[in-house]
Structure 1
Amino acid sequence: MAVMGVLATVTVCASLLGVLLQPFQVRSVRVLEGYWDRWYLTARLAGVLAQLQRRRWQALRRRVEQVARDDTALRLQADARRRLALRPSVEALLPTALGNALRAGELSAGERYGLTTLTSWPRIYPQVSGYLAQALRSTRDALDTAVNLCWSFLALTLTAAVALYDEMSTWWLCGAGLVLAWVAYKGAVTVAQSYSALMHVVYDLHRFDLAAALRHRLPDDREEELELFARISDLVAGRGRLDVRYHHGGADCRPCRDEAGS
């Protein structure tokens, strides 16, 4: 019973610490993503871990490219292909699995259509339909919760190590805290992969809503689409030309139709 009480106390304290971390949510996620270049020692560690990530990426690539000779090899090849799809390109890899899971969406969701994801995301998000917006919010909340729990368990592990350093019989609590932190981190990675997938869906379904909301004429083919979204990316990044022609009416302008019907 005493052990269960200790575990319950640790879990409750971890949850409370997660709530206290909420104002620092963006920073706590970015640290676990692997943005460590601000300080010399962490930058060196980031370089070592990024190299490890590149080796894993290359191993997966070799598995995908080799000839599969039996069912087992085919399954391994399919798994490697799936895992590669959840990562960014080798030159954009970050030191951590969480960072790579999120970067896969940040660098490819809009780029498939000529949009720069990082600059266009705040503008396309308001165009998202109700069910998809709810899925995005739910997934992001789950990601933040998992990250907060990871930090909470790490903090409790450090506290336990300091408080119980002379009581060897209780060292297992430190090990349990590390295991729980690892489980929370793995959960954050899984949720981040789902969030990146939803980012791709947003651009699949709502990229033309973004163009219409910005008062651009919708394209007629793939070539015009790439040209339009490249121009929009330049505009939102502050690199656009001043000779832009806007479209304020017509059948292909959803905001105009909404205003006419209101």
Structure 2
Amino acid sequence: MKLGDAVTPPAGLGSGRRFFMVGYLPTYAALLFVLLLFWAGARAWVEPPQGGLSFGRAWQTAAALGVGEVVFLVLAITLTAVLLNPFQTAMVRLLEGYGPAWPGSGRARERQRARKKKWQDRATLAQGNPAALTEPVVQEAGFAGSELRRRYPLPDHLVRPTALGNALAAADDGVGRAFGFDAVVAWPRLYPLLGDETRAIVDDRRDAVDGAVRMAVTMAVTAVVSAVVLVRCGGWLALALIPLVLSWIAYRGAVQAALAYGDSLHAAFDLHRFALLTALGTKLPNDPAEERMVAAWWCDLWRQGIPLPPAFRYTVEETGQGEQP
């Protein structure tokens, strides 16, 4: 049995695509990197062997693993991934910039606001100057306006200190806004009503965000552990930069995945918001103004417990379901 067999998690528990991408793969990559350093001779508590690290010896050790050792490795990786799974939301929130203020978070938030201002300036490049409205200028302004809405929440007080936090905050703030919905409280009710194709897209993009976040956090921790293991190895300490670079790449990937995830949420509300109103027994609106009003009533109820107003009317289904005051 070879080390490569450990890539496949145990049947049943780890067979799900999400578990493999989000939990198992980052844990496997981190543990394998640290083990290779250890097998090559890196030890924090002793000097490295004569001649420095030997990755040839490390590969020989990996190739010689027995069945029991590989099974133990698979179980260790799986157990670690399962134990870390409840902390996934905390990892996302950490990279969003929530929680206790960390040193420099204020300056980071100001930098994000400055970047938002640059997108705003590009979106209004020719405002007030009709002579400057050439086709390239209009296209550039349109692109900048679209990116501004995807990357940043509308109110400045919602701006987060990280690009990932702002991409997800933009989705929370903007998704469903045009129809009167507050996505934060409406999404848990809308999600069960999504069509199979829409749900598959939403789930795939959410998994991409979570997988990239887990990889970024895991590789950052791996970089610290690697630096400790390599502290006595002289120039080999530079190997700790490998997981650090991978962490940065994974974070950038998480930002792009968050933008795509926000797009899928917009599409979900565009296509299925009437399914939500129908499931709630609500009379479908006759115009956009009525739609925004009805959506606001429901969101006020979900968010603050404000009862539906007397003007609200349920629809009466032919099946006898529904209620009429």
TM-score of the pair, normalised by structure 2: 0.67
Measured in 2, the distance between the counterparts of 1:93 and 1:11 equals: 33
- 306, 309, 323: which is aligned to 1:239? 306
Encode CA deviations 1:21-56: one digit per residue, 9 max, x unaligned.
Answer: 3221111111111113xx3x52x6332211110011
Are residues 1:53 and 2:120 paired? no
The Cα shift of 1:76 comes to 5.7
Aligned partner of 2:153 in structure 1 is 88
Aligned partner of 1:11 in structure 2 is 29
Aligned partner of 2:273 in structure 1 is 207
Give the helix-richer structure, 1 or 2.
1
The Cα shift of 1:222 comes to 1.4
5+ residue gaps, structure 2: 1-26, 34-76, 127-131
The correspondence of residues 1-262 of structure 1 with structure 2, limited to 5 A, is: 11=29, 13=31, 16=77, 20-36=83-99, 39=100, 41-42=101-102, 45-67=104-126, 77=141, 79-86=143-150, 87-91=152-156, 92-237=158-303, 238-241=305-308, 243=310, 244-249=312-317
Higher mean C-alpha deviation, range 235-244 or range 72-81: 72-81
The Cα shift of 1:155 comes to 0.6
Is the 1:10–1:156 contact (alpha carbons within 8 Å) kept by the matching residues of 2?
A: no
Q: Give the share of equivalent positions with the same residue, in percent.
A: 33
CA, structure 1 residues 18+102, in 2 after alignment: closer, same or farther (shift >3 Å)? farther
Specify the code of the residue in structure 1 equivalent to 2:301.
Answer: L
Aligned partner of 1:6 in structure 2 is none
Measured in 2, the distance between the counterparts of 1:186 and 1:30 equals: 16
CA RMSD of aligned residues (A): 2.8
Q: Secondary structure at the match of 1:218?
A: coil
Measured in 2, the distance between the counterparts of 1:226 and 1:10 equals: 48
Higher mean C-alpha deviation, range 237-246 or range 86-95: 237-246
The Cα shift of 1:124 comes to 0.6
Q: Secondary structure at the match of 2:202?
A: helix
Measured in 2, the distance between the counterparts of 1:175 and 1:199 equals: 36
Structure 1 runs (4+) greater than 6 angstroms displaced? 68-75
Specify the code of the residue in structure 2 equivalent to 1:123.
Answer: R
Encode CA deviations 1:184-203: one digit per residue, 9 max, x unaligned.
Answer: 00111111101101111111
5+ residue gaps, structure 1: 1-8, 257-262
Encode CA deviations 1:207-239: one digit per residue, 9 max, x unaligned.
Answer: 111111011111111121111111111122211
Measured in 2, the distance between the counterparts of 1:69 and 1:11 equals: 52
Higher mean C-alpha deviation, range 227-236 or range 13-22: 13-22
Specify the code of the residue in structure 1 equivalent to 2:196.
Answer: G
Q: Secondary structure at the match of 2:171?
A: helix
CA, structure 1 residues 25+171, in 2 after alignment: closer, same or farther (shift >3 Å)? same
The Cα shift of 1:117 comes to 0.9
Higher mean C-alpha deviation, range 83-92 or range 236-245: 236-245
Q: Secondary structure at the match of 2:315?
A: coil
CA, structure 1 residues 241+74, in 2 after alignment: closer, same or farther (shift >3 Å)? closer
TM-score of the pair, normalised by structure 1: 0.82
Specify the code of the residue in structure 2 equivalent to 1:240.
Answer: P
Measured in 1, the distance between the counterparts of 2:81 and 2:236 equals: 24
Q: Secondary structure at the match of 1:216?
A: coil
Measured in 2, the distance between the counterparts of 1:14 and 1:34 equals: 29
Measured in 2, the distance between the counterparts of 1:167 and 1:234 equals: 61
The Cα shift of 1:81 comes to 3.3
Higher mean C-alpha deviation, range 194-203 or range 220-229: 220-229
Is the 2:154–2:173 contact (alpha carbons within 8 Å) kept by the matching residues of 1?
A: no
Measured in 2, the distance between the counterparts of 1:46 and 1:197 equals: 27
Is the 2:185–2:299 contact (alpha carbons within 8 Å) kept by the matching residues of 1?
A: yes
Q: Secondary structure at the match of 1:206?
A: helix
